[in-house]
Amino acid sequence: MNNVTLARATMGTSLGFHIVFAVLGVGLPLLMFVAEGLWLWRRDPGWLELARRWSKAFGILFAVGAVSGTALSFELGLLWPGFMAFSGSIIGLPFSAEGFAFFLEAVFLALYLYGWDRLSPVAHWLTSIPIAVSGAASSLFVVMANAWMNSPAGFHLDAAGKLVSVDPLAAALNPSTATEDPHMLVSAYVVTGFLVAAVYAAGMLRGRTDLHHRRGLALGMAMAAPAIALAGITGDSSARFIYQAQPVKFAAMEGLYQTQRGAPIHLGGIPSDSQHRVLFAIEIPYGLSLLAAFDPNAQVQGLDSYPPDLRPNPVVVHLSFDTMAGLGTLLGLLALGFWILVVRGRRLPLQRRLLWALVVAGPAAAVTMEAGWFVTEFGRQPWIVYGLIRTSQAATSAPALGATFGVFLAIYALLALTSARLLLRLARGARQAGA
Amino acid sequence: MTLAAANAALLWAALTTYAVLAGADFGGGVWDLLASGPRAAQQRRAVAEAMGPVWEANHVWLIFLVVGFFTAFPPAFAVLALALYLPLTLALVGIILRGAAFAFRAHGAEAEGASRWGLVFGSASLLAPFFLGAAAADVAAGHVHANGRPAGVFEGWATPEALLIGLLAVSLCAYLAATYLLVETADRPDLQADFRRRALGAGALAGVLAIATLALARSQAPRLFETLTGNGLPLLVLAILNGGVALWTVWRTRPRVARAAVIAQVVLVIWAWPLGQWPYLVPPDLTVAGSAAPSQALQAMLVVTGVGMALLAPSLWYLFHVFKGRLPQA
């Protein structure tokens, strides 16, 4: 493998690993805030037990998220020096702001984790607010930088292509920020909600249907349900923005080769560059034009209107997009069905088939989010900064990239396995405590 | 002061804070690894209790430093990232494993595997300061060139002075940690005596390594020697004088004075470096002014830092007040 491929593989692995811990860092503090607040309000120690369990899990998740996030801040430069030499000053503002948000999160998390006996109950509960707020703010700031890579703005070049002035605020608030930021934030709550619900659903399948488990499941689904609805809405506006701003990414998402009016939607299937069409797909006529512009005859640009070296890989992008949209729809239906059953039965539904679906929904939500990032990142190729810098020009020429990729793979595998093992042990402890 | 100089000073202040706070956390890992004698378990517990609530916040100074560096001096950042790819990656491996191992041990691995992760925690705590120190030495010695391309895996950075300064960084971290632990163990005299011996050992080792570095630089790395004996000389002289004071206060077991003296030692060493190589950021090719970002980015950096510090400073004060206040009632 060459350096570009190795740099992409290393960066992709690091991002894909970090994002799971990062979204839990956004969502879990909010759940802890609610559970501990319910304890203060109702004085029911069961809620406190829930908050304490989550805070133990969060201690592990936050530490792994923090070190893998540090890896990313280094890797921006180590793997992509050509990118950072140009972009560093333009997108530094949201990164610096993210640094402070992360700082506040670390400070108040330490107070939260180690302060159970040192702070008054109300003061302790209040420390969860800055954790939740700065966790959410971190994700918004970091995604601004990614949005800038999709729609670079806020800088001026001279005739020779040299950077002469920057407008950091305009760069941070580039056009893609308005759609990417909200979509990522609500997705963080989707993944957290479903993963939390999955843990308690798994416990219930083993017969632990005590109050502790029912509350954990209910709070998880209370977060997941509105979040998945919002993810659908923000995702839809994101897709429509991409139709305007990055037509070639949009064409790859849908596997559309010929520019046409009344374009169909392809569900599934494999885009074929040689046959210029999507094989084995289910076609919905006019669907794409309708979705993209609310007009069945709207024109949608096809991949063929771009030279081959300026197109993303449509197989990866289309399948990732369909994975995200398909799983996202199923998750939405599951959340809706769950709450309908709750309202109708006036109690938590405990049917085994539903519990099994909830167990699967946790990891599925994480896969949905990862697939979404595949669409964003693979869909931007061959550019690292859309229309401006090619990924191949930005990669490092340092030696031994293959070896360091292997080392990072091994480390992430070890950290993933260990975190999973320790979290499962915490969950088992919860079952015993709840019995 | 120009905007570029203000940003450079800001980054150096962040580096100093990181060294003084997180350096001690790495040093704590060293003492975890080297815990011995009848009180080995208590030594490890003292390290874990001292680090527990603060290490993650201490760690963020590094992220602030990296982010601030690529915001304010993007070309210099890119040059360093390319030339020092391997030492920085190895430091990163140390940072990842150290943090994860500490958290696994603290929050989860109560029943099994604790000692295995303890071993990872200790050894990874050596990696990070060693390679960060080596990378810093390569910058100061002028080994990093703007148009250089690393040809071999070890070429251009694995120099004798870099390795020596890497060891110096590790010993300084251990020195810091042992001295802080003198304060933390004030109510346990036997444990305090353990850390006093360790502080004296680490401090003496740091002194020997510092003298060896100067001697080596004089014959092998003229630029590094010039840096240290040029504009940086007053600070270097102060560091040498202060080094004696620090060791003496540790010897006499004056924990709070010793802590201040050892902090001063690290601050003097770190600030002798930029003063010595001024106006260069990455000598011999890149100056502070010449590698600075457009002025709007430099202004934004100062504004964000001002706003951020207004939120952060009271929060940090509260954190250290709750956990590091005088005689904490655990």
Q: Please indicate whether, in this complex, the C-beta atoms of A114 and B52 are within 8 angstroms of each other.
A: yes
CA B239, distance to chain mean position in Å, is 16
Residue-number span of the structural domain to which A256 is assigned: 3-434
The confidence score (pLDDT) of residue B109 equals: 58
The confidence score (pLDDT) of residue B329 equals: 39
B chain contacts of residue A103, beta-carbon cutoff 8 Å: 57, 60, 64, 308, 312, 315
Using the Cβ of A410 and the Cβ atoms of chain B, whether some distance falls under 8 Å is answered with: no
Using the Cβ of A67 and the Cβ atoms of chain B, whether some distance falls under 8 Å is answered with: yes
Which residue from B minimizes the CA distance to A419?
Answer: B104
How many contacts, defined by CB atoms under 8 Å, are there between A and B?
A: 232
Domain count, chain A: 1
Q: Please indicate whether, in this complex, the C-beta atoms of A85 and B97 are within 8 angstroms of each other.
A: no
Over residues A240-251, the mean pLDDT reads 94
DSSP A162: -
* φ/ψ of residue A273, rounded to 5: -65, -35
Q: What is the ipTM of this complex?
A: 0.91
Q: Please indicate whether, in this complex, the C-beta atoms of A115 and B59 are within 8 angstroms of each other.
A: no
* φ/ψ of residue A422, rounded to 5: -65, -40
Q: Please indicate whether, in this complex, the C-beta atoms of A92 and B315 are within 8 angstroms of each other.
A: no
The confidence score (pLDDT) of residue B151 equals: 66
The confidence score (pLDDT) of residue B328 equals: 42
* Phi and psi based region of residue B253 (left: phi greater than 0; alpha: psi -120 to 50; beta: remaining): left
Among A68, A74, A164, A411, the strongest candidate for a mutation testing the B interface, having the largest count of B CBs within 10 A, is A74
Angstroms from B66 CA to nearest CA on chain A: 7
Both tokens of residue A348? 């938590």
Q: Assign A169 a pLDDT band (cuts: 50, 70, 90).
A: very high
- CATH, domain range B3-293: 1.20.1630
Q: Please indicate whether, in this complex, the C-beta atoms of B66 and A165 are within 8 angstroms of each other.
A: no
Over residues A370-386, the mean pLDDT reads 96
Angstroms from B102 CA to nearest CA on chain A: 9
Could you report the per-residue pLDDT of B58-75, keeping only the tens digit for each?
A: 999 999 999 999 999 999
Q: Assign A161 a pLDDT band (cuts: 50, 70, 90).
A: confident
Over residues A41-50, the mean pLDDT reads 93
The confidence score (pLDDT) of residue B114 equals: 59
Q: Please indicate whether, in this complex, the C-beta atoms of A78 and B95 are within 8 angstroms of each other.
A: no
Provide the 3-class DSSP secondary structure of residue A300.
strand
Which residue from B minimizes the CA distance to A102?
Answer: B60
pLDDT at A430 over 60: no
Q: Please indicate whether, in this complex, the C-beta atoms of B99 and A66 are within 8 angstroms of each other.
A: yes
Q: Please indicate whether, in this complex, the C-beta atoms of A71 and B96 are within 8 angstroms of each other.
A: yes
A chain contacts of residue B103, beta-carbon cutoff 8 Å: 59-60, 62-64
Could you report the per-residue pLDDT of B271-314, keeping only the tens digit for each?
A: 998 988 889 999 889 999 999 999 999 999 999 999 999 999 99
pLDDT at A135 over 90: yes
Instruction: Report percent pLDDT > 70 for chain A.
Output: 98
Which residue from A minimizes the CA distance to B300?
Answer: A93
Q: What is the pLDDT along chain B (330 residues), one digit of tens a residue?
A: 799 999 999 999 999 999 999 999 999 999 999 999 999 999 999 999 999 888 988 999 999 999 999 999 999 999 999 999 999 999 999 999 999 999 998 876 554 455 788 899 999 999 999 999 999 999 988 888 887 666 677 877 888 999 999 999 999 999 999 999 999 999 999 999 999 999 999 999 999 999 999 999 888 888 888 888 888 899 999 999 999 999 999 999 999 999 999 999 999 999 998 988 889 999 889 999 999 999 999 999 999 999 999 999 999 999 989 987 754 433
Q: Please indicate whether, in this complex, the C-beta atoms of B103 and A104 are within 8 angstroms of each other.
A: no
B chain contacts of residue A169, beta-carbon cutoff 8 Å: 300
